[in-house]
């Protein structure tokens, strides 16, 4: 007898360790998938500049990930539970690696990146042909040469990034629904929130690593190793700068493939965690699985799909939760997708610095909030109704704090002819072409080429020529322009390459914005796990996998895909000056109206989040009158009820299984 008990205990420990192994593997998978996703989001600006495409098209490329996910999410969520879930997750990780590799290919198929400039990098820099010369001719202009125009077809290489992102979305499909349902099926109900909290923490560690990687790559020139960076006349703060976006995708591809390996060695099913196994129960489980397998083969695998779907669609709490998620996802997708661009345009930071600051200030509080939320759910044994109230009121506090962001503002960059007059006065941003003034009208300057310089009067100019500069000293990024007729200052009027800095006050506003963002992120993430448990516990156990998949499907269709596209189009509407290609066509935007950009970036998400509290409060009202599946029933009892449901010999099975229940559980059962 002692030997049998020892063997059963060894079996229990072995199964428990396999669950912990799966928890570790799925956490790593979440790290790798979110690493790739956060890196992709952080590189959108670099991709926009590399291929000279508008923000709305970049938003479509970003949303293509959701299109790939959309193709399979519902079927994987439902049919995946009938198949080998760990192996499906492993295959998905490999497919994600393939998609990341495809995204990096354009760099190896394209020529070197060429940015618009009035200054010749390879030519004789001592020549002043690019400066203000009365009755002179400018040699750096958009060309009508057909051979040069044909080369612009290289911008269509963004299709590789689009297709790679779709493939990455297809590969990501099984990870979340099958991973969460696997934990829910084989973990104790009181441990499930903590385990999911750990997994969601992996979903925060991944973006943190991804943002740090993106910050590093954005600071390295795209063609480093093949060009002499000392000859460059731009810095990472310049809106023409393109970082080594392709390098990070290669790293993401390798990480995704490596995380796939453990899943091919994990079992299809496990005993329920914490269940005191005995020979009868183990035998009954095997017989039950065998009978179910035979029945599935006989009746078909799709037998329960439509009934489950109908049950979910008729569940008011579940449908309201989907509506709430769609509205809030629209807000958060827009906020996080375009946050690096917002920090660049509003506070004058480089892409690398903006990405780094997001990773340092926002992600650690979110990570701590996820863990704390899971621990609170476990320690205090919070019910679903209590979790709903916690999630709702905490997110409402974070929402109210969000309005303080409207106070952390900076003025537009002072660019003569665009945001200010040549006398330094503010002007209407949309009055038309005022690029030329009396001081540069005879210089024969190109009026569309963006090659900004900063005058020693604190005003920026579109080019040294438009600043009226006649001479230059130095080379590369250290070039200094002198005798600038448009720069009104006492002493020698000079200018240096790049836009003028926004000043100390703007830097302080950035610090306040980041601190407020960190506090809001922590409070909101603290409510995430309780809110997610409402989703999981408002549906029947057998419907969980399909329910999670349908929830993900709806958020992808109505938020993940359209949000970056329409938000990108709104951002494009605030552009003040577009880049110019060789054939005179518009490229990527060089400078935005930061005031209107701020109204769109902060105003639209605040309106959407406000609307989301209508279904949130309706859920709280319904929960007062509704009894959820498994409510007021212990975890062991729920497991036994699920196993004996639908059998003709209910009383006989309950008598057998009651041997493993303590007295309190029997009282609850009765």
3-state secondary structure of 473: strand
* Among the listed residues 605, 577, 526, 222, the one whose alpha carbon sits nearest the alpha carbon of residue 366: 526
Q: Which residue positions in the chain have pLDDT lower than 70?
A: 1-16, 74, 77-78, 80-81, 120-130, 134-155, 273-303, 424-433, 583-584, 627-670
The pLDDT score that the predictor gives to residue 610 is 94
Inter-axis angle of helices 528-537 and 363-379, nearest 10 = 50
Backbone angles phi, psi at 306, to 5 degrees: -65, -40
Residue 625 exposed, middle or buried by CB count within 10 Å (0-12, 13-18, 19+):
exposed
Whether residue 553 is found in the same domain as residue 483: no
Among 220, 243, 270, residue at a domain's last position = 270
Judge if 25 and 107 occupy the same domain. Answer: yes
Are 475 and 124 a contacting pair, CB within 8 Å?
no
Kindly report the backbone phi and psi dihedral angles of residue 521, in degrees, each rounded to the nearest multiple of 5, phi listed first. -65, -40
Q: What pLDDT is attached to residue 532?
A: 80
Q: Which two tokens stand for residue 357?
A: 């600051």
Does residue 531 lie in a domain region?
A: yes
Close Cβ partners of 275 (under 8 Å, ≥ 6 residues apart): 12, 281, 636, 639, 660
In a domain, 136, yes or no: no
- Is residue 620, in this structure, part of any structural domain at all? yes
Torsion of CA 378, 381, 386, 389, to 10 degrees: -20
Tell me how far CA of residue 209 lies from CA of 84, 251, 348, 602, in angstroms.
30, 11, 24, 26
Whether residues 353 and 255 share a domain: the answer is no
pLDDT at 374: 80
Contact 460, 576 (CB under 8 A): no
pLDDT at 249: 96
Alpha-carbon distance 420 to 427, whole Å? 5
Domain that holds residue 522: 306-410+502-628
- Nearest to 462, CA basis, from 222, 132, 121: 132
Query: Does any domain span residue 654?
Result: no
Same domain? For 171 and 317 the reply is no
CA 486/CA 465 separation, integer angstroms = 10
Residues sharing a CB contact under 8 Å with residue 194, sequence separation 6 or more, in sequence order: 374, 375, 377, 378
Q: What is the reported pLDDT for 144?
A: 46
Q: Are 510 and 577 found together in one domain? A: yes
Nearest CA to 221 out of 46, 377, 371, 104 is that of 46
**Chosen domain end from 628, 646, 663:** 628
Does residue 622 fall inside a structural domain?
Answer: yes
Task: Note the pLDDT tens digit of each residue in 334-391.
Answer: 888 899 999 999 998 989 999 999 989 988 888 888 888 888 887 888 888 888 898 8
The pLDDT, as a whole number, for residue 469 is 87
Total domain count for the chain? Answer: 3
CATH code assigned at 364: 1.20.1250.20
pLDDT of residue 566: 93
Evaluate whether residue 634 is within a structural domain: no
Which residues are bridge partners to 460 per DSSP? 415, 454
User: What pLDDT score was predicted for residue 323?
Assistant: 94
446 and 405: one domain? no
pLDDT for 83 equals: 78
21 with 63, same domain: the answer is yes
412: Cβ–Cβ under 8 A, 6 or more apart, which residues? 419, 429, 593, 594, 595
In a shared domain, residues 528 and 398: yes
**175 shares its domain with 266:** yes
Residues 219 and 75 in one domain: yes
Q: What is the DSSP string of 605-647?
A: HHHHHHHHHHHHHHHHHHHHH-PPTTTT--HHHHHHHHHHTT-
State whether 527 and 454 are in the same domain.
no
Rounded to two decimals, what is the model's pTM? Answer: 0.79
| Same domain assignment for residues 191 and 337 | no
The CA distance from 568 to 562, in Å, is 10
In b/e form, how buried is each residue of 529-562, taking b as 16+ CB within 10 angstroms? bbbbbbbbbbbbbebbbbbbbbbbbbbbbbbbbb
What are the tens digits of pLDDT across the range 46-63? 999 999 888 999 999 998
What φ, ψ does residue 67 adopt, rounded to 5°? -60, -45
In a domain, 22, yes or no: yes
5 domain residue, yes or no: no
Give pLDDT, residue 637.
Answer: 37
**What are the distances in angstroms from CA 297 to CA 74, 292, 399?**
21, 9, 51
């Amino acid at each position: 007898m002692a030997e049998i008990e020892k063997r059963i205990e060894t079996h229990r420990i072995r199964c428990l360790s396999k669950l912990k192994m799966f928890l570790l593997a799925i956490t790593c998978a979440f790290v790798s998938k979110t690493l790739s996703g956060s890196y992709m989001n952080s590189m959108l600006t670099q991709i926009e500049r590399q291929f000279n495409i508008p923000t709305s098209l970049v938003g479509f490329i970003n949303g293509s990930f959701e299109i790939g996910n959309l193709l399979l999410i519902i079927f994987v969520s439902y049919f995946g539970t009938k198949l080998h879930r760990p192996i499906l997750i492993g295959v998905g990780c490999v497919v994600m690696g393939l998609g990341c590799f495809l995204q990096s290919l354009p760099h190896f198929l394209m020529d070197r990146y060429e940015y618009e400039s009035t200054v010749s990098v390879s030519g004789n820099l001592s020549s002043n042909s690019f400066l203000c010369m009365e009755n002179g001719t400018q040699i750096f202009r958009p060309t009508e040469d057909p051979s040069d125009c044909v080369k612009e077809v290289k911008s269509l290489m963004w299709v590789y990034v689009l297709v790679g992102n779709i493939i990455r979305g297809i590969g990501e499909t099984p990870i979340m629904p099958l991973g969460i349902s696997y934990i829910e099926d084989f973990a104790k109900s009181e441990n499930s929130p903590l385990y999911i909290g750990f997994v969601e923490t992996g979903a925060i560690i991944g973006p943190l690593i991804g943002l740090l990687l993106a910050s590093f790559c954005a600071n390295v020139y795209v063609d480093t190793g093949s060009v002499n960076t000392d000859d460059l006349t731009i810095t990472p703060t310049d809106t023409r700068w393109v970082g080594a976006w392709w390098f990070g995708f290669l790293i993401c591809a390798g990480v995704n493939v490596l995380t796939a390996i453990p899943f091919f060695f994990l079992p299809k099913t496990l005993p329920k965690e914490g269940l005191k196994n005995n020979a009868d129960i183990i035998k009954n489980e095997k017989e039950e699985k065998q009978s179910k397998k035979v029945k599935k083969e006989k009746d078909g695998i799709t037998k329960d799909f439509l009934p489950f779907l109908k049950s979910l669609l008729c569940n008011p709490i579940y449908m309201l939760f989907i509506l709430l998620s769609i509205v809030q996802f629209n807000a958060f997708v827009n906020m996080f997708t375009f946050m690096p661009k917002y920090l660049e345009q509003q506070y004058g930071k480089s892409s690398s610095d903006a990405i780094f600051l997001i990773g340092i200030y926002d992600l650690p509080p979110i990570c701590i909030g996820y863990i704390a939320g899971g621990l609170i759910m476990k320690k205090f044994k919070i019910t679903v109704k209590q979790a709903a109230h916690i999630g709702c009121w905490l997110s409402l506090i974070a929402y109210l704090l969000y309005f303080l962001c409207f106070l952390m503002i900076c003025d537009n960059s002072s660019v003569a002819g665009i945001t200010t007059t040549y006398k330094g006065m503010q002007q209407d941003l949309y009055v038309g072409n005022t690029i030329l003034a009396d001081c540069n009208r005879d210089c024969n300057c190109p009026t569309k080429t963006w090659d900004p310089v900063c005058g020693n009067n604190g005003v920026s100019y579109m080019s040294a020529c438009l600043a009226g500069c006649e001479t230059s000293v130095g080379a590369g990024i250290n070039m200094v322009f002198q005798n600038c007729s448009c720069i009104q200052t006492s002493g020698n009027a000079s200018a240096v390459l790049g836009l003028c800095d926004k000043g100390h006050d703007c830097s302080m506003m950035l610090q306040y914005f980041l601190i407020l963002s960190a506090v809001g992120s922590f409070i909101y993430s603290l409510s995430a796990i309780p809110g997610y448990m409402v989703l999981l516990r408002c549906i029947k156990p057998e419907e969980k996998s399909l329910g999670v998949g349908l929830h993900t499907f709806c958020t992808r269709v109505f938020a993940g895909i359209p949000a970056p596209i329409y938000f990108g189009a709104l951002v494009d509407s605030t552009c003040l000056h577009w880049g110019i290609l060789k054939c005179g066509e518009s490229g990527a935007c060089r400078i935005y109206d930061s005031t209107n950009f701020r109204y769109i970036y902060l105003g639209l998400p605040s309106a959407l989040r406000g609307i989301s509290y209508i279904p949130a409060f309706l859920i709280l009202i319904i929960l007062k009158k509704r009894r959820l599946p498994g409510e007021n029933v212990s975890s062991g009892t729920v497991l036994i009820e699920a196993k004996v449901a639908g059998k003709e010999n209910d009383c006989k099975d309950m008598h057998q299984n009651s041997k493993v229940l303590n007295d309190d559980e029997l009282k609850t059962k009765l």
